[in-house]
Amino acid sequence: MKRTHFILFSLFVFILTGCSDDRFERIDPHQSFVASVNIIEPSITFFDQSANEIALWPLEKAYTGAILVGKDAILLYGHQLKDADLYELSTGKLLKEISTGLGVTNAYFDAQTEKIFITNSKTNELTSYTMKGELQHTVKLHNYPMSMLVSDGKLYVINYKDTILSVISTETMAILDEWVIPKSSHGLVIPTGRDELWVGGHGEGNSPNKTVDIYAQSTGEKIKEILMPLMPVGFSQRDDEIAVVSHGENILYVVNTDGIIEWQLEIGANPFAVAHFKDSLVVAGYDDHSIYFINNRRIQKKVHTEKGPFHLLVREG
Amino acid sequence: MKKLSSKIWLLIVLFLSATVVFMYIFTDFLYEHFYVEDTKIKMVEVGEKLQTMYKGGKVTDELIDAIDNYAAYSNIPIFAVRNPRELSACVPFDVDYDALIGPAERQQLIAGNAVIKIGFEKRFERQIISVILPFTDQNRLEGIIYLYYPLAKISELAKEEVVLLITGAVMFLLVATFFVYQGMRKILRPLANLQQAVNHMAQGEYATRVDVTSKDEIGTLSTAFNQMAQSIQREDEAQKSFLATVSHELRTPISYVKGYSEAIQNGYISDQKRDEAIGLIARESARMERLTNELMQLARKDEKIPLSETEPLVLAETIRDAVSLLQNQAIAKRIQIEQSLEEELIVMGDEEKIKQVFINVIENAVRYSQENAAILIHSKEIGSDAVITVTDSGIGIPAEDLPHITERFYRVNKARSRSDGGSGLGLSIVEQIVKQHHGKLKIESTLAKGTDVIITLPIMEES
């Protein structure tokens, strides 16, 4: 082999290996973070509890959501993508490509059973995987399954374009129950120690939703509703405090488990997500591309993210 | 489609139709450009004024009512919206709802910019111009002002009149088509007449003429045709006349020669009369020879008379040579030939041909002069030319014949009599030779008073 050929060949190999390296910036396994999943130009921004940016993962695929899987993995999915990708946080490496098919609406990780649940709007199915991404079960649900929450071995799934909430066994994937709820419901929370399931939502057609509806967890009967205009869709619970974000009015409500609003704060521009992180409440403003850190009922910090923060992921060590 | 008139007619009709279509499109363009643009500007102005009513915070019911109140008196439909769904706030959720604005427009509005759209809007089920202005507060799109105006096409604007408009256009086209057809017929009729006349000419009807009714190109063409027809007719008549002359001229000497030779052969003529008869035969034979020579020239009528080599000629000498050759004829008629010649005039030419020119001209002068008359030959230098004038006081040439006198076989004396001895070729030959020597021939004549033949030849340049 001539010398020039060897150089060219080496360069070619170098470029190929360079291209195939889909590794992201490593995240220290002991680092606590809140990460915003930005979807207008897909990326993930990681912040520490002082609201400093730890890392930025620019994403090349049109991911629309992400969840943490255990302590050291993140699953990225997209409504228009055929695969969901499982990355290891400590190395930034791709662990597994899970073939989901088009139409993934949401993913949920249950730490107790170590299962990943994925809902699909094209097939209207719920599929379970191991935390390594191995396919386990598939069950047919109703129109557009999306919001999910696990409690006491039961997976609650809202069928977004339907009036049915499905209750599924996380072990057997059997459908245990189906409740009647309003159409376009979204967002779930179960207050600790109460036989309640709170359901938020957008509302249907021209009439936006103004309430969080409360159902008896054991029976599925509607018990009451709390007025939280407009469009309460994001929930986060810690101890006796439940944070609800109403994206229609840009308001963060903080209520106790009795459903009594303790305080409220106008925040962000078109926020969809709220999360508890350390001693802060974090709200993501979709339109203003900002993350707000709230302490003592006041905005302590506002930091900019990439465009369109839509989900918040929290890991606390 | 064989007729030119049909082609032109069709062309004009097509042109008219194209004009009607073009005017429609052009008007439509003007409408789009000015009317739509003007409406857009007005809408933005109104919207921006209303926008100032918003002072930040939530869009209140009072603000919505105030805008509704204004809209009740405005001719532009206006409304304010604060429903997040209408503002595409729920995107990225799949909300099953036709929002007034899309995600990209939402971003534009959040940035504080107006959105102006022209096109079909599903919500209003028609083409509209819409102007959307934001109510923003700290990056929050709290609401929008939505102004829209139906983008009616001209046809839609004049919905009732559109039938009238189309009917009018069609009627206009029909009437225009009819009048154009009639006009074309009138304009092109002389051309049709001309075509007919050409056909007649082709069949030998040389007397055919067309009426010249205009001074345009067709009129000029008709005039040219008439002139051409006249020339052809005259040429035809000249040929016929010449053939008649020739046959007449030949018949007489032939009958003389035939009669006398038979008489001599049969011994009907006495010896003392025989010489006289033989002389007569010889004279008539010479006449026949001359005639046949001229016939030869007739056969070569399109060819030029060949010139032998040119040389410097002393014009006075050449004229005198010609005069001396004709002296006998002049003496026979007791005609005095007076010469007033400049001796210094030298021209370049073929001596024989130049001499033939003067012989022909002087011979004509002698022939058509009365006995005891005088002929004056005068030459002088004018500019760079030698001008020779042969003046007689003979019978003259009628004015109507003068322009044709140099044409071949043209005879002033239409009686075809051989009494004057001419064959109609002499002056034609003279003109041709003079032209070959770059000269000019001019004939001036008054009937019964005499003729001036003026020959101009360029004087030889001294090198």
In this structure, what DSSP letter does residue B305 have? P
- The per-residue pLDDT for B416 is 41
- Sorting pLDDT into bands at 50, 70 and 90, what band is A18? very low
CA atoms within a 13 Å half-sphere pointing along the CA-CB vector of A267: 33
Residue B295: pLDDT over 70: no
Maximum average pLDDT range among A213-217, B176-180, B353-357, B445-449: A213-217
Strands B311-314 and B140-150, by their bridges, are unpaired
Determine whether A218 is exposed, middle or buried from the number of CB atoms within 10 Å of its CB (0-12, 13-18, 19+): exposed
User: What does the alpha-carbon distance between residue A306 and residue A56 come to, in Å, rounded to a whole number?
Assistant: 9
Give the one of B96, B110, B139 whose C-beta lies nearest to A161's C-beta: B96
- The per-residue pLDDT for B425 is 67
- The per-residue pLDDT for B389 is 94
- The per-residue pLDDT for A20 is 45
**Chain B residue with the nearest C-alpha to that of A311:** B92
User: What does the alpha-carbon distance between residue A55 and residue B231 come to, in Å, rounded to a whole number?
Assistant: 108
- Sorting pLDDT into bands at 50, 70 and 90, what band is B156? low
In this structure, what DSSP letter does residue B209 have? -
- The per-residue pLDDT for A194 is 92
Q: What pLDDT digit, counting tens, does each position of A68-81 carry?
A: 999 999 999 999 99
User: What does the alpha-carbon distance between residue A161 and residue A209 come to, in Å, rounded to a whole number?
Assistant: 14
Neighbours of B420 (CB within 10 A): 14
Q: List the one residue out of A84, A98, A95, A107 whose CA is nearest residue A24.
A: A95
Edge-to-edge strands, sheet with B140-150: B78-81, B140-150, B126-137, B115-121
Cα B462 off chain centre by: 45
CB A98 within 8 A of CB A76: no
CB B289 within 8 A of CB B302: no
Residue A270: pLDDT over 80: yes
Cα B238 off chain centre by: 31
Q: Is some CB atom of chain A closer than 8 A to the CB atom of B61? A: no
Total-model pTM = 0.61
In this structure, what DSSP letter does residue B403 have? G
Q: What Rg value do the Cα atoms of chain B yield, rounded?
A: 50
Residues 6+ apart with CB under 8 A from B165: B158
Structure tokens at B282: 């010889």
At B116 the three-state DSSP class reads: strand
CB A94 within 8 A of CB A87: yes
At B155 the three-state DSSP class reads: helix
Residue B69: pLDDT over 60: yes
Q: What pLDDT digit, counting tens, does each position of A46-60 carry?
A: 999 999 999 999 999
Mean pLDDT, rounded, of chain B: 85
**What's the whole-number mean pLDDT along residues B45-61?**
92
Task: Number of A to B CB contacts under 8 A, please give it.
Answer: 58
- The per-residue pLDDT for A123 is 96
Cβ pair B58:A249 closer than 8 A: yes
Strand-pair partners of A57: A44
Residue B92's alpha-carbon distances to A126, A244, A271, B105, in angstroms, are 21, 19, 12, 14
CB B225 within 8 A of CB B197: yes
- The per-residue pLDDT for A12 is 55
**Chain B residue with the nearest C-alpha to that of A310:** B92
Neighbours of B55 (CB within 10 A): 9
Alpha-carbon dihedral angle through residues B149, B152, B156, B161, given to the nearest 10 degrees: 80
Residue A15: pLDDT over 60: no
Q: What pLDDT digit, counting tens, does each position of A90-131 carry?
A: 999 999 999 999 999 999 999 999 999 999 999 999 999 999
Q: Any idea which architecture A66-180 has in CATH?
A: 7 Propeller (2.130)
Q: What pLDDT digit, counting tens, does each position of B412-436 carry?
A: 765 544 445 565 667 887 888 898 8
Maximum average pLDDT range among A199-208, A300-309, B261-270: A300-309
Residue B111: pLDDT over 80: yes
CB B427 within 8 A of CB B400: no
- The per-residue pLDDT for B304 is 60
- Sorting pLDDT into bands at 50, 70 and 90, what band is A19? very low
Which amino acid appears at position B368 of this protein?
Answer: Y
In this structure, what DSSP letter does residue B404 have? G
Q: List the one residue out of B406, B347, B340, B421 whose CA is nearest residue B374.
A: B340
**What's the whole-number mean pLDDT along residues B12-25?**
88
Structure tokens at B259: 């009669």
Helix or strand (DSSP H, E) at B376 = strand B374-382
Q: How far apart are the first and last CA of chain B?
A: 67
Q: How far is A12 from chain B (nearest CA, A)?
A: 41
Q: List the one residue out of B93, B440, B143 whose CA is nearest residue A185.
A: B93
Residue A65: pLDDT over 70: yes
Residues of A in contact with B94 (CB under 8 A): 79, 121, 144, 160-161
Residue B462: pLDDT over 90: no
- The per-residue pLDDT for B451 is 92
Q: How far is A287 from chain B (nearest CA, A)?
A: 7
- The per-residue pLDDT for A7 is 61
User: Who has greater pLDDT, B97 or B317?
Assistant: B317
Q: What pLDDT digit, counting tens, does each position of A236-261 carry?
A: 999 999 999 999 999 999 999 999 99
Cβ pair B141:A121 closer than 8 A: no
Q: What pLDDT digit, counting tens, does each position of A287-317 carry?
A: 999 999 999 999 999 999 999 999 999 999 7
Cβ pair A248:B89 closer than 8 A: yes
How does DSSP assign chain A, residue by residue?
Answer: --HHHHHHHHHHHHHHHHHH--------TT--EEEEEETTTTEEEEE-TTS-EEEEEE--S---EEEEETTTEEEEE-TT-SEEEEEETTT--EEEEEE--S-EEEEEEETTTTEEEEEETTTTEEEEEETT--EEEEEE-SSSEEEEEEETTEEEEEETTSSEEEEEETTT--EEEEEE--TTEEEEE--TTSSEEEEEE--STTS---EEEEEETTT--EEEEEE--S-EEEEEEETTEEEEEETTTTEEEEEETT--EEEEEE-SSSEEEEEEETTEEEEEETTTTEEEEEETTEEEEEEE-SS-EEEEEEE--
Mean pLDDT, rounded, of chain A: 92
Strand-pair partners of B338: B376
Residues of A in contact with B60 (CB under 8 A): none
Q: What pLDDT digit, counting tens, does each position of A137-181 carry?
A: 999 999 999 999 999 999 999 999 999 999 999 999 999 999 999
- The per-residue pLDDT for B307 is 66
Rounded to 5 degrees, what angle do the CA atoms B85, B86, B89 make?
A: 50
- The per-residue pLDDT for A252 is 96
Residues 6+ apart with CB under 8 A from A118: A77, A84, A98, A100, A104, A106, A107, A108, A126, A127, A128, A129
Cβ pair A205:B97 closer than 8 A: yes
Q: How far is A5 from chain B (nearest CA, A)?
A: 50
Residue A64: pLDDT over 90: yes
Helices B161-202 and B217-265 pack at an angle, to 10 degrees, of 10
- Sorting pLDDT into bands at 50, 70 and 90, what band is A16? very low
Q: How far is A270 from chain B (nearest CA, A)?
A: 7
Q: Looking at this predicted complex, what is its ipTM? A: 0.84
Which amino acid appears at position B314 of this protein?
Answer: V
Q: Is some CB atom of chain A closer than 8 A to the CB atom of B104? A: no
- The per-residue pLDDT for B1 is 52
Interface of A with B (CB under 8 A): 39, 64, 79, 121, 144, 160-161, 184, 186, 202-203, 205-206, 208, 230-231, 247-250, 268-270, 285, 287-288, 290, 308, 310
Q: Is some CB atom of chain A closer than 8 A to the CB atom of B94? A: yes
